[in-house]
Amino acid sequence: MSTFPGSPRLVKGAIIGVDLANPLASVVIFQYNPDTLTRTLTAQTAGGGSDSRSEPQRLKGPPLENIRLDIEIDATDQLETADGVATGMGVYPQLSALEMLLYPKMAKVIANTILLATGTIEVVPAEGPFTLFVWGPKRVLPVRLTEFSITEESYDPSLNPTRAKVSLGLRVLNYNDFPISHPGYAMFLAHQGIKEAMAMIGSVGNIGSFGLSLF
C-alpha cells in the first residue's frame, strides 16, 4: 500500500546489545512501533535519616524508571516476497537476537568452566551486553532487561515461528549504576540534559498560557 508522499518518515524504535566481541549479536529494530509504552518513575528520596524531616526534598539520585512495552514481529510480508531468511527460519532470528540480551556469551561460559575445573577459587560471572533502548533521537537509554515473555502465534511447516508478540520490561540504568568511565554514565547524563531542556521549553509555554510573564 502506498503512502502519502508528503508524510513524515517514521522513526523506528530499537533495542541494541553492544558487545565489542560481536557488534551485530543483538540489534533489534522494531518492525512495528508499539502503540503504547508505559513508564513508571519512583523517586529516590534521601530516606529515613535523622535529618529527613528538615530536608524532605533532598534526592539521592535520579528516579528509578521502568519501561514496559509490547512489540510484534511478523514474517507475513517477507514470506509473500519469498525472502530467504523468512522462508527458512521465520522470525526465529529476530527472537533470538532479543533473547541473547539475557545470555552470557558461550565463550565466556566455557572459559569460566575451564577455570573452575583447574581449581580457580573465584570466577567472575560473565557480563551481559551493554543494552540500549532507542526511542527516537531524544531517548537513547542504557537499560537492563528485567521481564521478557514471548507468545508465538503461528508457525511454518518446519515449526519456525512466523508471528510473535513480545512483552518487555526494562529498567533504565542511570549514572549511579555505572563507573564514571563507562559510556552508560555519560549517556544517561546526556539524556537528563535533554530532558531538562525539554522541561524548560514546556515550563515557559505553561507560564504563558497561565497568564503570567517571566519579565
Assigned C-alpha cell, 122: 573465584
Cα gap 162→108, rounded to integer Å: 31
pLDDT score of 10:
75
pLDDT score of 125:
79
> What is the DSSP secondary-structure string of 140-189?
EEEEEEEEEEEEEEEE-TT--EEEEEEEEEEEE--GGGS-TTSHHHHHHH
pLDDT score of 173:
97
Cross-strand pairs, 133: 15, 141
Q: Is 136 left (phi over 0), alpha (psi -120 to 50) or beta?
A: left
Q: Which of 203, 202, 99, 110 is nearest to 150 (CA)?
A: 99
pTM comes to 0.81
The tens place of each residue's pLDDT in the chain, 215 residues long, gives: 455 555 566 789 999 998 766 666 688 899 999 999 999 999 888 765 555 565 677 888 899 999 999 999 999 989 989 899 999 999 999 999 999 888 888 888 888 888 888 887 787 777 888 999 999 999 999 999 999 999 999 999 999 999 999 999 999 999 999 999 999 999 999 999 999 999 988 877 666 666 555 55
